[in-house]
């Protein structure tokens, strides 16, 4: 009887620790719809569903799609204090590339009051979606998503490994 009472808490602890780690996935580029290895330039569209329960945020890769063409650098358009930081690492020693995006779960927006003043309000959502547009480059090894904000240090949400 003692053995089963010790095993149940240990199993619960193991499962709860496992559920706290960020999601990991491997994407095989040749299996991505519309991927053409012979194209001079290829873009990759990655869609993630983000959700929040309590203080825990999670991300799941829901769609990946490739298209021929170059990615136009549209700059960073973050208007709020929270964001998603995407870090792309390379296997050949090139420095990581960082892309910033608006956080779909935390939004700051300006609203007009009847008296004519403008004020900023913060909104939160329990779920949202994020689509990243990235160039497919030689030696891409991993893509990591981090949630950033003033209330917490950057939290890793997802790791995607690239494979040919």
Tell me how far CA of residue 118 lies from CA of 29, 114, 124, 148, in angstroms. Answer: 46, 9, 20, 26
- pTM greater than the 0.95 cutoff: no
Best CA proximity match to 80, nearest among 111, 108, 41, 99: 108
CA distance 45 to 49: 13
Distances (CA, A) of 51 to 80, 83, 98, 103: 18, 14, 22, 11
Q: How does pLDDT run across 109-161, given as a tens digit for each residue? A: 889 989 999 988 888 899 999 999 999 998 999 999 999 988 788 999 999 99
DSSP structural state of residue 77: -
Closest CA to 132 of 108, 157, 150, 154: 157
Q: pLDDT class for 23, splitting at 50, 70, 90? A: confident
Share the mean pLDDT of the chain.
85
- d(CA 65, CA 133) in angstroms, rounded, equals 10
pLDDT in tens, 34-48: 999 999 999 999 999
The torsion angles phi and psi of 122, rounded to 5 degrees, stand at: -105, 135
Split at pLDDT 50, 70, 90, the class of 49 is very high
């Amino acid at each position: 009887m003692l053995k089963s009472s010790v095993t149940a808490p240990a199993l619960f602890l193991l499962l709860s620790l496992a559920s706290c780690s960020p999601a990991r996935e491997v994407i095989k580029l040749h299996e991505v719809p519309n991927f053409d290895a012979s194209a001079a330039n290829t873009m990759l569209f990655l869609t993630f569903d983000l959700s929040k329960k309590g203080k825990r945020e999670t991300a799941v890769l829901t769609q990946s799609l490739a298209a021929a063409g170059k990615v136009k650098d549209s700059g960073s358009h973050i208007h709020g204090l929270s964001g998603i930081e995407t870090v792309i690492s390379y296997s050949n020693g090139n420095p990581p590339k960082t892309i910033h995006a608006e956080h779909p779960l935390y939004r700051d927006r300006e609203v007009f009051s009847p008296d004519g003043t403008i004020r900023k309000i913060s909104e939160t959502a329990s779920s949202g979606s994020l689509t990243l547009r990235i160039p497919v480059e030689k030696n891409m090894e991993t893509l990591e998503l981090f949630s950033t904000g003033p209330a917490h240090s950057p939290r890793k949400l997802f790791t995607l490994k690239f494979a040919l």
